[in-house]
Amino acid sequence: MSDIIAPPSVRALARQKGIDLEKLAKDLGRTSIAREDLEGGKPAAGPVGDTSYWDVDHSQFGPVTEEPMSRFAQVAAANLGAANALIPQVTHHDRADVTAIEALRGELKLDAQARGVKLTALAFQAKALARALREFPRFNASLSPDGKTLTLKNYVHIGIAVDTAHGLMVPVVRDVDQKGLWQIAAEISDLASRAQNRKVGPDEMGGASMTITNLGGIGGIGFTPIVNPPEVAILGITRTETVTLWDGDTPRPVTMVPLDLSYDHRVINGADAARFVSYLAGLIADPRRIMV
């Protein structure tokens, strides 16, 4: 007998829908599956509110069309809803000087062409984040669902949120702290392009220390990403811009990248978050410090 408990009618429905009950049970963290679990779309948990006023016949206001939410999108929606409802989140905003990184990228351009690897700013940011996570172990941790145990991770894997045609995917680069920039850049590029074609294996997702969600290529000056549990923080990045800094009375143009760290306040307090982001910004400003 299977360890999963589901009534015969639910097993039959799962077969018709092509749903793997064992996998679903694992995803839901349960041993029993009810009919409702197969219908999807509803958040796994969270405060119950009155949503009846959302249920509006929009066509009375003008022409509309409808499209079904894919199963992928429904699962993502349920997970985001649960994360947002259940985790007390705070977002800390800062920025980092990227002059040195940009200069280095410029110097390495020919090397990059020769290697066929695009040495992106994101690769530097991932490497700097990995170093910061080694320095601040509570940011590289997960809180058990019952809130009783904090698991500290002795590895550094970085999730990269990728915007794809079928929805958001988060492939993970393993052991970023032990890899060189060329390799990190190549792996991010490979995972991102495969994610576009939904060719990322299940073993290439999950298990991250922290996720980076990078909107730098699109725009924006800051945002508040939602923590991706069981991780305890997520780093948002928006577009690099030249800002004016003042050295006393003297204005100085500096190229800076905005950093937005949303974190689980149950695990991380505000002062620690400020220290963490400040340390990270320092590494980005002077990438030599990543090495020492």
Cβ(193)–Cβ(131) under 8 Å?
no
Per CB under 8 A, the list member of 32, 59, 193, 269 interacting with another protein is 32
Closest approach of another protein to the CB of residue 24, in Å: 15
11 binds another protein (CB under 8 A): yes
Of 58, 157, 166, 265, which is the active-site residue?
Answer: 265
Decide if 157 is catalytic: no
Among residues 16 and 52, whose Cβ is nearest to another protein?
16
Cα atoms in the Cβ-side hemisphere of radius 13 Å centred on 76: 13
Angstrom distance (rounded) from CA 129 to CA 261: 11
Q: Which residues contact 145 (CB under 8 A, 6 or more apart)?
A: 29
Distances (CA, A) of 122 to 14, 68, 103, 114, 218: 41, 34, 15, 20, 14
Q: Which stretch binds another protein (CB under 8 A): 13-21, 62-70, 181-189, 259-267?
A: 13-21
Q: Radius of gyration over alpha carbons of the chain, in Å?
A: 22
Angstrom distance (rounded) from CA 254 to CA 241: 8
Closest approach of another protein to the CB of residue 19, in Å: 11
Angstrom distance (rounded) from CA 242 to CA 193: 30
**What is the three-class DSSP state of 223?**
coil
Closest approach of another protein to the CB of residue 37, in Å: 14
29 binds another protein (CB under 8 A): no
Q: Which stretch binds another protein (CB under 8 A): 6-14, 97-105, 116-124, 247-255?
A: 6-14
Q: Which stretch binds another protein (CB under 8 A): 3-11, 172-180, 191-199, 256-264?
A: 3-11
Among residues 14 and 232, whose Cβ is nearest to another protein?
14
Angstrom distance (rounded) from CA 182 to CA 36: 47
Active-site positions read 265
Binding site for another protein (CB under 8 A): 1, 5-8, 11-12, 15-16, 18, 31-32
